Amino acid sequence: MMVFKDTNKISIFDPETNRAEYIEECANTIMIDSRLLEANQEHRYRYTMGHECGHAVFHSAVYANSGGIPCRLEKRSTGRTNTHEWLDDDWMEWHANSFSAATLMPKSSVEICVERQGGIPTNVLKLFNLIYCISETFNVSEEAAKHRLKTLGYLEYLLQQKPSA
């Protein structure tokens, strides 16, 4: 959650009391689910921090009068794949995701990884190797690496190929 203005009305769930409570928080604070602090969640933590920073950069004027806007998985994935059907929330989540991806995996650095892996992947094995390389190099999830490669146009060759019988 990105907190946009000082507030005492941030609702959080307290597992010890098994109920929601209100807490006070200052403007420009990023609140992260504590489960992302677990050892195997570093890549998700980093991406989420970048995502919330994206909201701070792009959407502070939109949410200037609200306390905080929680980003939840169900909010990020609306199921609307046609961008012509997207609502403002869809675009704001896209902005935040794009900001995080570009910050954590700069285009010029991704290009170097692609070159070191033999160029644009021409088969599934090369694609998996490239996704793994991007994931390891930038400490992001394989899903984030694949999405970044797709947005930079590196998967177009494979997507255009017809499966052989």
Give tens-digit pLDDT for 116-127: 999 988 888 899
Amino acid at 46: R
Residue 9 parent element (H or E):
strand 7-14
Domain assignment of residue 48, given as a range: 1-104
Phi-psi region of 161 (alpha: psi -120 to 50; beta: other; left: phi over 0): beta
Confidence class for position 3, pLDDT limits 50, 70, 90: confident
The model carries a pTM of 0.76
Domain co-membership, 98 together with 131? no
Among 55, 84, 104, residue at a domain's last position: 104
Same domain? 80 vs 27: yes
Provide the number of structural domains found in the chain: 2
Tell me the backbone φ, ψ of residue 103, rounded to 5 degrees. Answer: -70, -45
**Does the structure show a pLDDT above 60 at 82?**
yes
**Among candidate residues 130, 128, 140, the one with its CA nearest the CA of residue 41:** 140
- 88 and 144 assigned to the same domain: no
Are 117 and 85 found together in one domain? no
CB of 52 closer than 8 Å to CB of 68: no
Based on the domain organization, do 93 and 70 belong to the same domain?
A: yes
Q: Are residues 98 and 135 in the same domain?
A: no
Query: Based on the domain organization, do 75 and 110 belong to the same domain?
Result: no
Using the 3D structure, point to which of 81, 104, 127 is the last residue of a domain: 104
* Helix 42-59 vs helix 88-104: crossing angle, to nearest 10: 120
